[in-house]
Amino acid sequence: MPASSDQIARKRAPRMRDPESTRQKILHSAFLEIYRRGFQAASLDRILADAGVTKGALYHHFPDKAWLGYAVVDEVIRDHLLDRWLGPLAKGADDPLTSLQQAFRIRAKSVQPHEVELGCPLNNLAQEMSPLDEEFRERIETVFDQWREGFTDAIERAKARGIVRKDVNSRQIATFLVAAAEGSFGLAKNARSMEMFRSNMEALAMYLDTLRVPSRLRGRA
């Protein structure tokens, strides 16, 4: 049966391309490969196979493996981490400190077995690549700094509302909280214990009550 004019037109029409969709597939597959194996052991061939794209498509978007890794930090790990830790803070305008406590409790409830098994992807890369590659170190530090700034801002807003004591050093506390969260991932990863991670998150949430103005703390009792 002869092909219709519509069928012929469809065959002759160039296939529509979606460069951004291809780029996102590559980034997603690269994140998974790096998370499972580390950056140095990550295989471009496995990334391409998982994404279902050609090597030409990879190099169209990323000049080399290093720049692919940088993009994973900037666009995948950063967005995922900040959404999880800072997202809850946007919901608590009346009591930012309680919202910060909720961020730790939500993280405790939402943690998945693979996260305990593999650890925090940002911290993993910091341990592996910061001593080896200055570009990696700077990009990782940018994400850590945005995380610290988000916590600092929440504590400062709580101080302005008379919830947190005026003598509290907001930046110092925020840095401690980020370090404690990342340390908790490391301990839980080595112990293979979700319960350890959850217990530490609850301990950090409870610690934040020590920052409250005494009258505010009595009101919560």
Grade residue 10 by pLDDT with cuts at 50, 70 and 90: very low
User: Looking at residues 23-49, what average pLDDT do you find?
Assistant: 97
Q: Would you list the domain boundaries of the chain?
A: 17-62, 74-220
Residue 196 has pLDDT above 80, yes or no: yes
- Hey, what long-range contacts does 46-54 have (CB within 8 A, 24 or more apart)? 51/22, 51/25, 51/26, 52/25, 53/22, 53/25, 53/26
| Of 75 and 93, the one with more pLDDT | 75
Question: Cα dist. 89→29, 113, 170 in Å?
Answer: 30, 25, 15
Does domain 17-62 bear CATH number 1.10.10? Answer: yes
CA–CA dist 155, 66 (Å, integer): 36
CA–CA dist 137, 27 (Å, integer): 19
Does domain 74-220 bear CATH number 3.40.1280.10? Answer: no
Q: What is the pTM of this model?
A: 0.86
Query: Per residue in 136-148, pLDDT tens?
Result: 999 999 999 999 9
